[in-house]
Amino acid sequence: MLIEEKPLRYWIENFYGYGAWQAPFWFIGYEESGGDLPEEVAEKINYFYRLAKPNPDLLCDIRAMYREVAFRIDGPRAERFATLYDQRFGPHPTLHGSWKNMIAFTHGYENQPLPDLVSYQQHDFLSLSAPKELLLQLYPLPAHNHAWYYAWLDMPNLPFLKSRARYEEHVFASRMQTLFHHVGIHRPKVVLMYGMENINLIKESVRTFYPSVKFKVAKAVKLQIPQHHRADLGETTLIITTQIPALRHNRVESGFDWYAFGEQLKAGV
């Protein structure tokens, strides 16, 4: 399946993430995951193009999209799952390494017992009917930091795709504008921007929307709390960190207690 220009352009200009803007907890990752296989990218962008064309503000129902994306990982799991929906939301799902810590964070913040993580992922995470979490992306294209596959596309009308740097520069201002426009409208409790590589640029951009904002830097506590930058935007607490809510390379020493992190933020520490 080929990646076509119209759906790709529409995705770049309109895709922000999964869930509902009304959710009280927003998680903003650096970029959409995936991108290694053009077939997976094509299935995602084609689905979104068909679904969202009439309504640019529509976010994705992750369960509906994942039903449209084939599971293509080789190995023992290849026989178990036909789609990404099966992998994450089917009868015997695999617990997502980042999602489980987002779930822990929200429950820590609200001083609620940690639920059964697999069951919560299946039925409640990124729910549209009772939204609690919203999963967004600063940069829309499915990609990994170690590679940039879009430079190979023959799309003269999208010249910024020739390098990751040009692409990020091209979309950054409009993405921040849209994200913080919705922050102002919906006033979530917490906006957590994680895995960020350009914190100073992000902070500078936030000041264009909130000129008097002040950031405080909290040092990391090993295996407990990641280093982060915190700002109060009226009713919303903004957190920016380079860390991700998952183990890096499956190394325990790279992880944190995201439940405790949520507790700490609620306490104002």
Average pLDDT of 174-196?
97
* CA 40 – CA 7 distance, rounded (Å): 13
Tally of residues, the chain: 269
Average pLDDT of 77-101?
93
Residue of higher predicted confidence among 82 and 77:
82
The tens digit of pLDDT for each residue in 58-80 reads 799 999 999 999 998 877 776 78
Tokens standing for residue 81: 């799952």
Q: What is the pLDDT of residue 34?
A: 84
Tokens standing for residue 151: 């430079």
Q: Where are the alpha helices (DSSP H) in the chain?
A: 5-14, 38-52, 62-66, 84-89, 99-109, 117-123, 164-186, 199-209, 258-267
**CA Rg, the chain, in Å?**
18
Q: What is the pLDDT of residue 56?
A: 61
Domain chopping of the chain, boundaries: 5-267
Average pLDDT of 203-220?
97
Average pLDDT of 237-242?
98
DSSP state of 70: B
* CA 248 – CA 51 distance, rounded (Å): 34
Alpha-carbon distances of 221 from 67, 77, 209, rounded to whole Å: 39, 36, 31
The tens digit of pLDDT for each residue in 126-162 reads 999 999 999 999 999 998 767 889 999 999 999 999 9
Position 110, amino acid: E
For residue 57, name the pLDDT band (cuts at 50, 70, 90). confident
Closest CA relative to residue 220, chosen from 179, 173, 264 = 264
Do 220 and 214 touch, CB atoms closer than 8 A? no
